[in-house]
């Protein structure tokens, strides 16, 4: 009975949320969080392991029938990851009775702790298996660091699993209670989609970095925090050297590939909570909370070196061309030494960047290096 209810609800959920889910996938790109985990994890808690595997299999077969353009091997991998994650959770829960025997007239504290631990095991196994595949075979636009580092997606996944645990609790008393679960799940889809739309509006389409408006929002928030706590932060202006030559030689499509590669290189050299933006053209800006000028120069040197090591595969006239020997010039400024607001800091970093360009390119210059003593001349 419960198996049939979960299959029906999971498939109905897929159909009712199909349009929203398509929009979410387009906005999220790689690393999309599937909210069907509500039903699947409920199955982990109330069904025997074979039926849980059957539930996951039926859901993924339905996915493939509704969207046959996705390669079967990708579906099979996703299905296998969830079945293995479910099995790991089942093994843990067997210590307190196992699936189907967790809920009674009352639920003791040990069972609650075991279920929470099961949620963590399920989530960690899921992420670890995906990260392992990426480490071994690679996925365009996704790195192992991104898989582990996207906190917002992990929190959404874990919240979905907690919802699934509550659903399992309700199902153990009466399968009819599932009627109360479906509308909130669909509303969750819409609220998550709205958040993704808002995030997308703050991102640069070519690189996935913050656009100017999105970066300024983060920067102003950091400035307010730094003023309250009496702390500083660093700011980098990064400009690709001779980028016009890349566009003129290889074309704008290849130029876009270079911009994306540079964006990824910059992101790979900073912390997850640093903010990297693209201001247009070949100019990037990096916000470094809590960093001094010396720290900022160190990060800038790492970025500069990473750019020189890039080997970019770019499409040119129907074939792939390798672009290398790239370089970048970087200007560094710090709050509050170089300015007490974002615009003065940007101007200071831009002046340092201009000096880096004029002194030979492919180098880092700090704004303090531009300060010279001013001689007072008597009238």
Q: What is the per-residue pLDDT across 59-102, written as a single tens digit (0 to 9) for each?
A: 999 888 887 877 888 888 889 989 999 999 999 988 888 787 78
pLDDT at 378: 35
pLDDT at 283: 93
pLDDT at 200: 61
Pairwise pLDDT comparison (133 vs 176), residue with the higher score: 176
Average the pLDDT over 282-293 and give the result. Answer: 94
Residue in the structure block whose two tokens are 């991104």: 146
Average the pLDDT over 127-141 and give the result. Answer: 67
Instruction: Judge whether residue 328 has pLDDT over 90.
Output: yes
The pLDDT tens digits of the residues spanning 21-34 come to 665 555 555 555 66
Domain 212-370: state its class: alpha beta
User: In degrees rounded to 5, what are phi and psi of residue 283?
Assistant: -105, 130
Average the pLDDT over 316-327 and give the result. Answer: 88
Instruction: Judge whether residue 127 has pLDDT over 70.
Output: yes
pLDDT at 146: 57
pLDDT at 284: 95
Average the pLDDT over 108-114 and give the result. Answer: 86
pLDDT at 11: 87
pTM: 0.59
Parts of the chain belonging to CATH 3.30.70.270: 212-370
The pLDDT tens digits of the residues spanning 159-204 come to 888 888 888 888 888 877 777 777 777 676 566 655 555 556 678 8
Lowest mean pLDDT among 126-135, 153-162, 182-191: 182-191
Angle, alpha carbons 232-203-296 (nearest 5°): 25
Average the pLDDT over 292-319 and give the result. Answer: 91
Instruction: Judge whether residue 20 has pLDDT over 70.
Output: no
Average the pLDDT over 313-324 and give the result. Answer: 86
Output 174-182 pairs: Cβ under 8 A, ≥24 positions apart: 175/1, 175/2, 175/5, 178/5, 178/6, 178/9, 181/9, 181/38, 182/9, 182/12, 182/13, 182/16
Lowest mean pLDDT among 94-108, 116-130, 187-201, 226-240: 187-201
**To the nearest whole number, what is the mean pLDDT of the chain?**
83
pLDDT at 376: 36
């Amino acid at each position: 009975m419960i198996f049939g209810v979960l299959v029906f609800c999971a498939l109905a959920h897929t159909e009712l949320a199909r349009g929203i889910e398509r929009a979410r996938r387009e906005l999220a790109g790689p690393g999309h969080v599937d909210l069907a985990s509500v039903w699947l994890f409920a199955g982990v808690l109330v069904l025997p392991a074979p039926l849980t595997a059957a539930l996951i299999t039926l859901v993924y077969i339905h996915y493939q029938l509704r969207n046959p353009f996705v390669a079967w091997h990708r579906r099979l991998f996703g299905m296998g990851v969830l079945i293995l994650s479910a099995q790991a959770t089942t093994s843990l829960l067997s210590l307190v009775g196992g699936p189907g025997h967790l809920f009674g007239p009352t639920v003791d504290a040990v069972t609650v702790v075991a279920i929470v631990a099961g949620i963590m095991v399920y989530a960690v196994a899921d992420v670890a298996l995906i990260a392992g595949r990426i480490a071994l075979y690679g996925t365009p636009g996704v790195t192992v660091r991104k898989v582990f580092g996207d906190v917002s997606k992990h929190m959404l996944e874990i919240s979905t699993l907690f919802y699934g645990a509550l659903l399992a609790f309700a199902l153990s008393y009466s399968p009819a209670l599932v009627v109360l679960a479906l509308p909130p799940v669909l509303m969750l889809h819409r609220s998550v989609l709205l958040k993704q739309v808002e995030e997308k509006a703050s991102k640069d389409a070519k690189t996935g970095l913050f656009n100017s408006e999105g970066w300024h929002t983060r920067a102003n928030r950091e400035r307010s925090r730094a003023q309250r706590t009496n702390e500083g932060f660093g700011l980098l202006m990064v400009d690709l050297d001779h980028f016009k030559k890349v566009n003129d030689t290889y074309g704008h499509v290849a130029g876009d590939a270079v911009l994306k590669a540079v964006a990824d290189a910059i992101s790979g050299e900073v912390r997850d909570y640093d903010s990297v933006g693209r201001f247009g053209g070949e100019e990037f800006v990096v916000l470094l909370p809590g960093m001094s000028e010396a720290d900022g120069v160190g990060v800038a040197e790492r970025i500069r070196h990473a750019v020189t090591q890039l080997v970019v595969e770019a499409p040119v006239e129907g074939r792939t061309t390798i672009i290398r020997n790239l370089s970048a010039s970087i200007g560094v400024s710090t709050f509050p030494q170089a300015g007490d607001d974002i615009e003065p800091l940007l101007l200071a970093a831009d002046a340092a960047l201009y000096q880096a360009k004029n002194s030979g390119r492919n180098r880092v210059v700090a704004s303090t290096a531009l300060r010279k003593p001013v001689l007072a001349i008597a009238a």
